[in-house]
Amino acid sequence: MARIKLTAGRVRDFTLPDGAHQAFLRDAEVGGLAVRATAGAKAFVFQGKIGRRDLRITVGDLGTWTLEDARVEARRLQTLIDQGIDPRHEKAERLAATAAKHEQARQSQAPAMEAWDTYVEVRRADWGEWHTKNHAKFAQAGGKPRTRGRRPGEPATTQPGPLHALLSRSLKEIDADTVKSWLSENVATRPTWTAQAYRALRAFIGWCAEHPEYRHHVYVDACTQKQVRAKVPAPRAKDDHLQREQLALWFEHVRKLPNPIVAAYLQTLLLTGARREELAALTWDNVDFQWKSLTIRDKVEGQRTIPLTPYVAGLLRDLKARSEIPPPQPRKLRQSPDEEPNEWNPSPWVFASPKAAGGRLAGPNIAHSRALVAAGLPHVSLHGLRRSFGTLAEWVETPVGVVAQIQGHKPSALAEKHYRRRPLDLLRMWHTKIEGWILTEAGIEQPREIKVELKVVH
């Protein structure tokens, strides 16, 4: 088609011929510029060549672009081609840069909660269940009805987590002064919880600083300035534990608890010195009655194998027998003679709890508190039972390294770390001795295996 000098009138009057799908009106003034008409639309286009390849780029709609603006754009596109640059690639890079700027602006204004959710999801695989739950509690919005554990005078709904107000701001707003003010507001009412939340926030800020999408929006020193660290409550070492003379009362009232699973769990917690969550997560696959061992998850080593002592073995055998008895089912009329009755599968958890969301024991601390009150004993936390095991083991002069290996403590000396790895039989000898002494102090009849083992030890 011949080229003509485009004018506003010629562009306006140009129409699509009958029977054609598209038609072009090419400009004689600027090479490559044309008007393309299709069914119901007209637009400025640019046509050119890159090497041997033809290309066509839509400049814009006639309702948006004037003829002069279209000529300027066509000249710019031809200049790019003369420089060996494909205008389509240049446009894609320009759009990507614009999108990146928009995303950066959005991230700078977005609540830090979005980055926090990403952080938790990425790190979840490296965390334990309890650590992950704590991070969810730090950031929770609150306002949900309390379903359990509510004391007189406490609000009927849950409180917002200590970090919720901070994470509702943008990352750029969380600087040292903001964190300092936040600490001042929260330390007075919940110091321990605030200190834990502060450490979680410090790790989160550090993580953001290592990732390109967040590093330009965070103040890296928001949690590390001296004036901020001075506001953080110093951690106080807890020392709650059962004393020798309290064992009889403790066992008496724990064994009277109406829930035998909770009673067995609390006794096992004391007699193994395990962490509360690693014991609660114990499955029957990890209980070996034949070789008298328990394989439990360990936050330091991943997992560890400890002895299954006689009294604990008896507790678990009773639970095993209970778990194999199907619960009573309501009578149900069969739809047909060939219909099979509902199958019942026993729980894989040693300390099962059908009412709990995870199918295993989740809140034994309430029952434990009731037993302590009934016994007239001071408060001892579930972790205090773990502390009690290590303390009571000293009465039978158990080597510190043996206790540490049973409890899953990180080796604290060079020899323990590199040269001491005691076999299960040696651990069992000392562990059985510890259990036997605790039961003797509690006034509990000991299994025969303990008596035999103690004779051998002496």
Residues in the chain: 458
Q: What is the pLDDT of residue 335?
A: 53
Residues 6+ apart with CB under 8 A from 305: 293, 294, 295, 424
Per-residue pLDDT at 412 = 60
Spatial distance between the Cα atoms of 69 and 438, rounded to a whole number of angstroms = 92
Dump strand ranges (E) for 16-152: 22-26, 33-38, 41-50, 53-61
Q: Are 369 and 377 in contact (CB under 8 A)?
A: no
pLDDT score recorded for residue 70? 92
Give the bridge partners for 287, in sequence order: 294
Asked if residues 130 and 181 have their Cβ atoms less than 8 Å apart, the reply is: no
Q: Is 283 helix (H, G, I), strand (E, B) or coil?
A: strand
Tokens 């590199």 belong to residue: 418
> To 10 degrees, the CA torsion angle through 198, 203, 207, 208?
10
At 257 the pLDDT is 95
What per-residue confidence (pLDDT) applies to 340?
Answer: 53
Tokens of 99: 């999108």
CA angle 134, 233, 125 (to 5 degrees): 25
Quote the CA–CA distance of 131 and 116 in Å, as a whole number.
Answer: 15
pLDDT in tens, the chain (458 residues): 578 888 989 988 898 888 888 999 999 889 889 999 998 889 999 988 887 888 888 898 888 899 999 999 999 988 888 888 888 888 788 777 767 666 665 555 568 898 999 999 999 988 877 789 899 999 998 777 766 555 556 666 778 899 999 999 988 899 999 999 999 999 888 888 899 999 999 999 999 999 988 888 889 999 999 999 999 988 776 789 999 999 999 999 999 999 999 999 999 999 999 999 899 999 999 999 999 999 998 876 778 999 999 999 999 999 999 887 776 665 554 455 555 555 657 889 999 988 887 888 887 889 999 999 999 999 999 999 999 999 999 999 999 889 999 998 876 654 455 445 688 899 999 999 999 999 999 999 888 765 545 554 44
In this structure, how many other beta carbons lie within 10 angstroms of the beta carbon of residue 47?
17
Report the pLDDT value the prediction gives residue 295, as an integer from 0 to 100: 94
| 149 backbone φψ class: left, alpha, beta (φ>0; ψ -120 to 50) | left
Nearest in space to 162 (alpha carbons), one of 146, 179, 150: 179
Q: Tell the residue number behind the tokens 């959710």, with chain if given.
A: 117
How far is 292 from 313, CA to CA, in rounded Å?
Answer: 8
CA triplet 226, 231, 235: central angle to 5 degrees?
Answer: 105
Alpha-carbon separation of residue 34 from 4, 73, 145 (angstroms): 10, 12, 68
